[in-house]
Chain A
Amino acid sequence: DTGVSQNPRHKITKRGQNVTFRCDPISEHNRLYWYRQTLGQGPEFLTYFQNEAQLEKSRLLSDRFSAERPKGSFSTLEIQRTEQGDSAMYLCASSLGTQAGMGQPQHFGDGTRLSIL
């Protein structure tokens, strides 16, 4: 399978714990995005990488959220001191970076569903 891979698929944790999710993009894609989707809503953009550079992070929900893409391949999203309101599906997407970048379709993984007890 050469699609976007995310793990774990499900994460259940207690309030206050830290969690980390991993995303492996499609191999030839240099752009990587993180989104959050809550029940009944469309995905909401969080952050974006081009290769290893995080070019947009102002939409991260709070300073408890951080993301890395250390070698320009896989990425991790960490949430520190989780709260009840962090329960959601976290989606990763990747796309090709070209001059027509905005027109390149983003391909999504299956997501990681986070449940905070």
Chain B
Amino acid sequence: AQKVTQAQTEISVVEKEDVTLDCVYETRDTTYYLFWYKQPPSGELVFLIRRNSFDEQNEISGRYSWNFQKSTSSFNFTITASQVVDSAVYFCALSESPSGAGSYQLTFGKGTKLSVIP
């Protein structure tokens, strides 16, 4: 069965500090996708990034960067120079290869609540 673990329940940082959110996953499939979503206090889940299991290149988008390591089944997310607007709950999610008419449903971790203090 697939599983996503976000061991950090809550993190607080002071504005402009860098912060890394950890994500570890379990899957028996060789083909899968990993995602990060942001859920601000308003509640809507916002898609941030996806990574497929065959692409281990790290990615940078502005202040955000992602480190995918298949050897450790991890897909960590770093925010550089954090800002108050980054305060939210961040979810890591896994989508596996379907069997038959598979649904591509996402399996989410429990989320990490990030608070950026001014």
1/0 per position for B75-101, CB-CB distance to A under 8 A? 000000000000000010101111001
Known contacts: A40-B110, A103-B52. The answer to whether A45 contacts B45 by CB under 8 A is no
Closest to B96 in A: A102
Do B47 and A102 touch (CB < 8 A)? no
Known contacts: A33-B105, A43-B108, A91-B45. The answer to whether A101 contacts B98 by CB under 8 A is yes
Say yes or no for B30: interface residue by CB 8 A criterion: no
Do A55 and B103 touch (CB < 8 A)? yes
Q: B91 to chain A: which residues have CB within 8 Å?
A: 42-43
Size of the chain B interface, CB-CB below 8 angstroms: 31
Known contacts: A102-B33, A105-B35. The answer to whether A111 contacts B43 by CB under 8 A is yes
Known contacts: A43-B106, A55-B101. The answer to whether A106 contacts B47 by CB under 8 A is yes
Q: A95 to chain B: which residues have CB within 8 Å?
A: 104
Do A45 and B101 touch (CB < 8 A)? no
Enumerate B1-58 residues with CB–CB distance to A below 8 Å.
4, 31-33, 35, 37, 42-47, 50, 52
Known contacts: A40-B110, A42-B109, A55-B103. The answer to whether A89 contacts B95 by CB under 8 A is no
**Most chain A C-beta atoms within 10 Å of own C-beta, residue among B43, B46, B52, B111:** B43
Please measure, in the bound complex, the distance between the C-alpha atom of A88 and the C-alpha atom of B97, giving whole angstroms. Answer: 29
Please measure, in the bound complex, the distance between the C-alpha atom of A91 and the C-alpha atom of B44, giving whole angstroms. Answer: 9
Do B102 and A102 touch (CB < 8 A)? yes
Do A31 and B44 touch (CB < 8 A)? no
Closest to A50 in B: B101
The smallest C-beta distance from B66 to any residue of chain A, in angstroms, reads 14
7 example contacts (A-B, Cβ-Cβ < 8 A) are as follows A40-B110, A45-B107, A48-B105, A55-B103, A106-B106, A109-B44, A111-B44
Residues in A lying within 8 Å of B, measured CB to CB: 31, 33, 35, 40-45, 48, 50, 55-56, 59, 89, 91, 93, 95, 101-111
10 additional A-B residue pairs with CB within 8 Å, beyond A56-B101, A101-B104, A107-B47: A40-B111, A41-B111, A42-B4, A42-B111, A43-B106, A45-B103, A55-B103, A101-B98, A108-B44, A111-B43
